[in-house]
Structure 1
Amino acid sequence: MIVGLGNPGEEYAHTRHNAGFDTIDKLAKEVGVRYWKTECGALAAKGAYRDCDVVLAKPQSYMNTSGGPVKQLMNAYGVSADRLVVIHDELDIAPDAVRAKFGGGHAGHNGLRSICDKLGTRDWFRVRVGIGRPPGRMPVVDWVLSRPKKEAADDFEYVCDKAVQATLCLITEGLDQTQQRFNS
């Protein structure tokens, strides 16, 4: 199961905080998604890449409560935490970089905190999409909820494409290969 984090609604579409949603939308094309359905509080779709069946999901609760829909979907599909991949924005990574890892904390990310709380574990895969820190004294909330403009928009598009490739590598080649290719 591959979950992209974001906030529902047009006002949040294509903001930095919705890097997970944007990546999932791109990933859907790669895995042959034909339609989305509302299920367990999320938009969900089935697809396949090579010999791997996948379920893609975009929780439709707000970021801070995304753990509920994730847990419900995992229960509905019989997916264990070690078969979960969560794609999310990451302030502490440069805006052109992607990192993959297994386990870890939430680093103040409320979507990750919600998933950790609902699953009762921190042991699942993450594809971290770099959005960088806000410039100057701009508040973090204003940065993450803004849409990148001009060349930053191109960089955002690029990093989401890179996150798709990292996710596909993770599900077909494993964590070590993915980290060697994308974490350096």
Structure 2
Amino acid sequence: MKLVVGLGNPGPKYEQTRHNIGFLTVDRLAERLGVAITREKWRGLAAETSVRGQTILLFKPLTYMNRSGEAVAEVVRFFQCEADEVLVIYDDLDLPFGTMKLRMKGGHGGHNGVRSVIDHLSSQTFKRIRMGIGRPEDGDVVNYVLSPFHPQEREHLSEFIDRGASAARDYLETGDFSRVMNVYNQKQR
């Protein structure tokens, strides 16, 4: 079984904000897999499907970003899966908008949602798709991540989300995250 988690904040107020690019990307992946992430369970929204005979759970924690790990840990305990079977998709201030970086494991890089996942899984070995949103010019990170994308970003947002969903789907279809990392990390250069 594989668990794909998109990080974000629940509710219409946050729907189209930078911090919710993880939600937006996992929703796009769900569309491509022919499911909707609507089942309320484990303090989040879930959809179960299969890819090449393997069970896949798509998940959006509803605990708010800074407590995402609480809900993710509930799912991991329920399915008794290992941290390395978890893929987390989230926004990253350290990457320019439209840049994506896939990683096998690592620290939280200052991202409170990822910090919460690490803390509650007691592991850094989950896979990641970091979706670049860039940094604010004025240094006000909180307002920046909780604000909508600029019009010029919105012109390219759908394509960017498509790339993130494609990377996740390629991983689910091949099971080879190293190869998928090589392909998608190379495309940015």
| TM-score when normalising by structure 2 | 0.92
Following the alignment from structure 2 to structure 1, what is the Cα–Cα distance between the partners of residues 72 and 4? 10
Identity of aligned residues (%): 36
In the other structure, the counterpart of 1:179 is: 181
In the other structure, the counterpart of 1:160 is: 161
Alpha-carbon displacement from aligned partner over 1:55-111 (angstroms, at most 9, x marks no partner): 000000110001010000111122211100000001111211211111100011000
Secondary structure, counterpart of 1:44 in structure 2: strand
Q: Unpaired segments of 5 or more residues in structure 1?
A: none
Return the letter of the residue paired with 2:158.
E
Return the letter of the residue paired with 1:94.
P
Secondary structure, counterpart of 2:25 in structure 1: helix
Task: Tell me if structure 1 keeps the 8 A contact 2:44–2:61.
Answer: yes
Alpha-carbon displacement from aligned partner over 1:105-164 (angstroms, at most 9, x marks no partner): 001100000011001110110011111111x21411111111113221122222111100
Q: Unpaired segments of 5 or more residues in structure 2?
A: none
Task: Tell me if structure 2 keeps the 8 A contact 1:130–1:159.
Answer: no
> 1:126 and 1:98, CA in 2 relative to 1: closer, same or farther beyond 3 A?
same
Following the alignment from structure 1 to structure 2, what is the Cα–Cα distance between the partners of residues 49 and 154? 31
Following the alignment from structure 1 to structure 2, what is the Cα–Cα distance between the partners of residues 107 and 35? 28
In the other structure, the counterpart of 1:62 is: 64
The 10-residue stretch of structure 1 (31-40 or 56-65) with the greater mean CA deviation from structure 2: 31-40
> How far 1:36 moved relative to its partner?
2.1
In the other structure, the counterpart of 1:94 is: 96
Return the letter of the residue paired with 1:161.
D
Following the alignment from structure 1 to structure 2, what is the Cα–Cα distance between the partners of residues 64 and 17? 11
How many residue pairs match? The answer is 183
Following the alignment from structure 1 to structure 2, what is the Cα–Cα distance between the partners of residues 36 and 9? 13
